[in-house]
Amino acid sequence: MTTRRRGPVVLAIGTAILVGVLVAACSGSSPGTTPSAAASLPSSPTELPLFDGARFRDLLTTLRGKPVVINVWASWCGPCIEEAPDLARAARQFRGRVQFLGVDVLDQIGPARAFIRRFGWSYPSVFDPQAAIRNDLGFIGQPETIILDRSGRRVFTQSGAITLEILRKELTNLA
């Protein structure tokens, strides 16, 4: 009976696994950048970079100083379709004074980008295929709309489709 030395083989396999994990974590992948990348606003409404809860919290920190409307949505969600035109109108009305930010959850990139184009959204969204951000915000469904004041404090929350009238009412005093 012969005994084989496994040390070099185990070390090689372990190294290969570690390299694979590091490459996956550091490489950009569609859609957009990895969750660990520095948090900044997407450059276009249809960019839809991949975000996780920690990166989203970092992004919100960078947005302090201006009111923020966060809308959690999905392209297949009926109430999200219902509210989409009003969100587009409100974003245009409050452009420059309020930052609108979408969180696309449990979706696919193609339909999400088509949704953004269909409703003419001028503001960015981030992609959250596992709904980690939505869950981190304390919600279980969509749409959800949250308004943060200039200091980043949550001052308004609504579950279900939001209307232009509600957005105007809540944002007029903040903007």
Kindly report, residue by residue over 54-94, the tens digit of the pLDDT: 999 999 999 999 999 999 999 999 999 999 999 999 999 99
pLDDT of residue 175: 83
Return the half-sphere exposure (C-beta side, CA atoms, 13 A cut-off) of residue 102.
Answer: 32
* CATH class of segment(s) 53-172: alpha beta
- Phi, psi for 36 (deg, rounded to 5): -85, -5
Report domain extents, the chain. Answer: 53-172
pTM summary value: 0.79
pLDDT of residue 37: 52
Model pLDDT for residues 113-149, shown as the tens digit of each residue = 999 999 999 999 999 999 999 999 999 999 999 999 9
